[in-house]
Amino acid sequence: MDRVSIDITSVFLLLGSAQAFYLAYFFLLKGRTDRCNLYSGLLLVVMGLQILDVLLEQTRLIERVIFLYNFSQPTALLLGPLFFLWLTYALKRKLLYERLIRLHFLPFVLYTLYYGFFYFQPNDFKQTALERNQNPDAAREIITIRFDPDPLNVNEHFEWLLAAVLIFYLVLSVIMLLRSRGASSQVSVRKGFIAVLLGIGVGLLAYFLSRVLFTRDLGDFLPAVYLSLLVYFVSGSVLRDSRFLNRNWLTDGKTYQKAVLPQERIQRIEKRILHAFEEEKLYQNPDFNLEALAVFVKASRHNTSQILNAHMGMSFSEISSQYRVEEACRILKNREYYDWSIERIAETVGYNSRSAFIKTFQKIKGVSPSVYRQKTKR
């Protein structure tokens, strides 16, 4: 048995895998009430497993746990579906036949069952398979197998199956983005195209380049590095948007000195506030608060609150509720969203609680969301 090999690339992959699992934990916690976070978390888990699988082989640790050889291969079929579902809910788009969402996972389930022919082979067989991948020209040793590990030759051509799945979801994602122009969403369509390009397009390129440049399992290394880079990018984005970094945590944040601002500065902040609500639609984030708005308009919390109350005639809570309810009305009147539940609409416009949404809606509109929808259908 060879000694464990540790180098800078192994550390890079290790940190990438660890970050993926760490971030996934927090996304999945939020995923109980938000499907966008749910699929983000699941996607990170799959990415972490893919990186870990390559890491084991790169460091030769796989020889000590040979029964885990290629353990993550079936989960690669989840990359496309999970990315597409994340993008769908991030854009707040309606899924066609949403009740049949489980069909997206059918290729993964079927292949996982089929993969049992390989996975439940003796460890000697897996050790030989590992050696053949690392050295294809070596003499083939005769070994005993329990049954045919690949009766339909699916494993032999797995890379083409994976490529087909990724291309299918790449096309599906682009079509959805083209149809999303002008719709309200947590992320802009332009950012969605960038996400598709980076998430699937470049991933496919890295995958095919690895297969062209390498004939051995070293070809998995390039996609693993790419997935690690994506994890680092997500980690950086989470830190950048963290509320913890948007305030001075050494102070209690309650004391603000009263400041008299020039009229020009006040007008500029007012425009930024309107931009935050009308163009960026920051209120769709349930965690959006006065502090986050102040950071966006580049003013102190006190000055932002003062301008809202004295110059715009509404408190932060009132203006947020107004925009959220108006957005909800737009959705309730749109035939495309007639099958959306009240709870989903509440989440879409920025409420964590269905009851809080209904109470606020009724206070502003005088009727409940359900009654409002029925009236608009007439």
Out of 40-49, 155-164, 195-204, 328-337, pick the least confident.
Answer: 195-204
pLDDT of amino acid 68: 92
d(CA 119, CA 109): 15
What is the per-residue pLDDT for 335?
Answer: 87
Compute the average pLDDT of residues 218-230.
78
26 vs 174: CA distance, rounded Å: 28
- Calpha distance 343→352 (Å, rounded): 9
Identify the residue whose tokens are 């390129």: 205
How high does pLDDT run on average in the chain?
Answer: 81
Q: How confident is the model at residue 206 (pLDDT cuts 50, 70, 90)?
A: low
Check residue 67 and give its pLDDT: 92
Confidence bin at 256 (pLDDT 50/70/90): very low
Report pLDDT for 44. Answer: 93
pLDDT tens string 84-139: 888 887 776 655 556 678 899 999 999 999 999 999 999 888 888 888 777 766 55
**pLDDT of residue 252 exceeding 50:** no
Residue 196: per-residue pLDDT: 53
Q: Which superfamily does 314-378 belong to?
A: Homeodomain-like (1.10.10.60)
Instruction: Report d(CA 265, CA 206) in Å as an integer.
Output: 48
pLDDT, one tens digit per residue, over 263-304 is 888 889 999 999 999 999 999 999 899 999 999 999 988 889
Question: In this predicted structure, what is the pLDDT of residue 253?
Answer: 43
Q: Residue 258: pLDDT above 50? A: no
Contact by Cβ (8 Å): 296, 313: no
Q: Tell me, what's the pLDDT at 183?
A: 46
What is the pLDDT, as a whole number, of residue 254? Answer: 43
Per DSSP, helices labelled H in the chain are 8-30, 35-58, 79-90, 106-119, 123-134, 158-179, 189-196, 202-213, 221-240, 263-278, 290-297, 301-311, 316-333, 342-349, 354-365, 369-377
- Residue spans of the domains in the chain: they are 8-137+147-241, 261-313, 314-378
Non-local CB neighbours of 49 within 8 Å, separated by 6+ positions: 71, 72, 75
If one compares 222 and 10, the residue with the highest pLDDT of the two is 10
pLDDT at 187 over 50: no
Taking the CA atoms of residue 335, residue 340, residue 344 and residue 345 in that order, the dihedral angle to the nearest 10 degrees is: 20
Percent of the chain predicted with pLDDT > 70: 78
pLDDT at 21: 96
pLDDT at position 195 over 80? no
In the chain, % of residues over pLDDT 90: 38
Whether residue 309 is predicted with pLDDT greater than 50 in this model: the reply is: yes
pLDDT score of 102 = 86
Per mean pLDDT, which range of 129-133, 140-144, 244-248, 278-282 is the poorest?
Answer: 244-248
More confident site: 197 or 36: 36
- Say which residues have a Cβ less than 8 Å from residue 144's Cβ, sequence separation at least 6: 122, 124, 125
Residue 167 pLDDT grade (very low, low, confident, very high; cuts 50, 70, 90)? confident
Alpha-carbon gap, residue 70 to 162, rounded angstroms: 15
Measured between alpha carbons, how far apart are the two ends of the chain, in Å? 75
> From the CB of residue 333, how many other CB atoms can be counted at a distance below 10 Å?
14
Indicate yes or no: pTM above 0.75: no
pLDDT value for 257: 42
